[in-house]
Structure 1
Amino acid sequence: MSDPSGLHPADWAVWRAFSTTGRSIDRALEQRLQHDAGISTADFDVLRSLAEADGHRLRAGALAESIDWEKSRISHQVRRMAERGLVERADCPTDARGTWVVLAERGADAFAAASCGYVEVLQRAFFDRLDADQKQALASMADRVADALDRVAVAPR
């Protein structure tokens, strides 16, 4: 039987389990990052993208795209991180409007301090709990949902 919202109670249970688990993992990762390096998950996402980039630098737009953020969010995040010495901003010599976001030494140190603990939390709380078939199934499900989200229009209220 469906409830007034239109979802079956079993579907609600699946959604609650999924969303609660995601929030719990996010919280554990956030706590570990704060403990190990004094950074947030948002900081870590930016630092990881820069650490993996050629020359440890990305254009602001490419950085936003790499972590699936809007340009305004990356702009505010980069400003806060630059104030703390984790990243630096550099003008792009070939495009007067372009800005490079560069991994600073302090940011590289924070990323190094945070990475092992971050991976440990993921490994122990997530990957160690799944066998190879479950990991493959979960990846397939995630791709399927992501593909559907690309096609679902959300109407503003």
Structure 2
Amino acid sequence: MATTPLTETEIALWHAFKRAAEIVRGRIAAEITRETGLSDADFGIVTRIVDAGSSMRQNELAASMGWHRSRLSHQLTRMVDRRLVRRLEVDNGVEVEITDEGRTVAELARPVHAAAVRTLLIERIPADQRVGFTELLQTLADETK
């Protein structure tokens, strides 16, 4: 499939999109880490497990994060060592369960996450453009297109 190279305007759009996503996510993650000690990966895992009712199948957790199973396994090993989660062998797989320590730190991190998202993303988008911006991002994220 032959295609023409990106124009300067298209390249600028691509770079602005990547840079904005990297900076905003990085700053939010840094704020969570500074306030709670959780990495971005830790936060994603503990909040998903809490939201799922205290435990999740490891393969479902990997799918929800868009991660390969080996990446999740390595991350969970570190989190088990820090007593944030525990793994339980169950029929046909592994169940990942939040610990009391993991639940506590997830509860501490949620308001930090909310404040950072509001400050670093939501409040920087004009109020009258937020719905349209959200729809645009959802269109970009739609895997069926």
Counterpart of 2:47?
Answer: 48
Counterpart of 2:132?
Answer: 137
Counterpart of 2:30?
Answer: 31
Counterpart of 2:110?
Answer: 115
**Which 5+ residue runs of structure 2 have no aligned equivalent?**
none
Provide the rounded CA distance (Å) in 1 between the counterparts of 2:76 and 2:133. 32
Give the SS at the match of 2:5.
coil
Residues 28 and 120 in structure 2, CA contact (< 8 A), matched pair in contact too: no
Task: State the TM-score, normalizing by the size of structure 2.
Answer: 0.88
Provide the rounded CA distance (Å) in 1 between the counterparts of 2:102 and 2:129. 35
Counterpart of 2:9?
Answer: 10
Counterpart of 1:102?
Answer: 97
Provide the rounded CA distance (Å) in 2 between the counterparts of 1:132 and 1:70. 37
| Ranges of 4+ aligned residues in structure 1 off by more than 3 Å | none
Provide the rounded CA distance (Å) in 2 between the counterparts of 1:80 and 1:31. 19
Which has the higher mean CA deviation after the structures are superposed, 77-86 or 22-31? Answer: 22-31
- 1:73 is aligned, of 71, 74, 83, to 71
More RCO (CA 8 Å, sep 6+): 2
Task: State the TM-score, normalizing by the size of structure 1.
Answer: 0.82
